A = this chain, B = another copy of it.
């Protein structure tokens, strides 16, 4: 394959969305992990539901509403200061440790992010973590007002970079996103952070009796939607050898 552009999902792929757990735990001691997991579950659900309802609101709004429902479900109340402090973390998420080096090794090709994030959130995040220096474009689905895995979202890559789908390697750790990208026609590399063997072993050890571990692990298993990724690698550092 001739890959002219490598396009990355942001949340969960380059940036660790689990890194909000520090601030959620600080705000609600003992509840950090469960807030983090339900928040992410609801955040994704709301992107899908709003797209399907044809009632788009941007990712900042969806992220606030999903944090709001999470706290409500758990019977927790946050003052505006606390709520905003948790939300603020989304502009300063941790990069995965191997992200910077992997991007640097790929810079002979066009490099971009295609993310559900709203432009303000994404631009702040990319700038705060210095990735604006290596990326050719930061593409937000906000331009088409519908979320991944809609083909309209993936079509923004060609519209922005001028590169055909079969010249793109799309990289994501989110199974729904790899399925959508593959259905659209991209070459797809899935960052498989938890293997099925590790998942099954954890289950047999009863580690998954804890709901939070189960939530997290479930989201990391490949979906059965009929669109398998072309490549499975365990971390971003596997990308350069995939392309050489």
Are A52 and B46 in touch, CB under 8 angstroms?
Answer: no
Q: Is the interface of A mostly helix, strand, loop or mixed?
A: helix
Given A45-B176, A196-B72, A54 contacting B151 (CB threshold 8 A): yes
List chain B residues, Cβ under 8 A from A1.
none
Interface string of A209-238 (1 = CB under 8 A from B): 111001101100101111100000000000
For A51, list chain B residues within 8 Å (CB): 52
A46-B225, A211-B214, A211-B215 as given contacts; A149 in contact with B53, CB under 8 Å: yes
B149–A179 CB distance below 8 A: no
Interface residues of chain A, those whose CB is within 8 Å of chain B, are 38, 41-42, 45-46, 48-55, 57, 65-66, 68-69, 72-75, 146-151, 176, 179-180, 183, 196, 199-201, 203-204, 208-211, 214-215, 217-218, 221, 223-227
| Interface pairs (24), CB distance under 8 Å | A41-B218, A45-B45, A46-B225, A49-B176, A49-B179, A52-B52, A52-B147, A52-B180, A53-B150, A53-B183, A53-B225, A57-B226, A65-B224, A68-B224, A69-B223, A72-B196, A72-B221, A72-B224, A73-B221, A74-B200, A75-B196, A75-B204, A208-B211, A211-B215
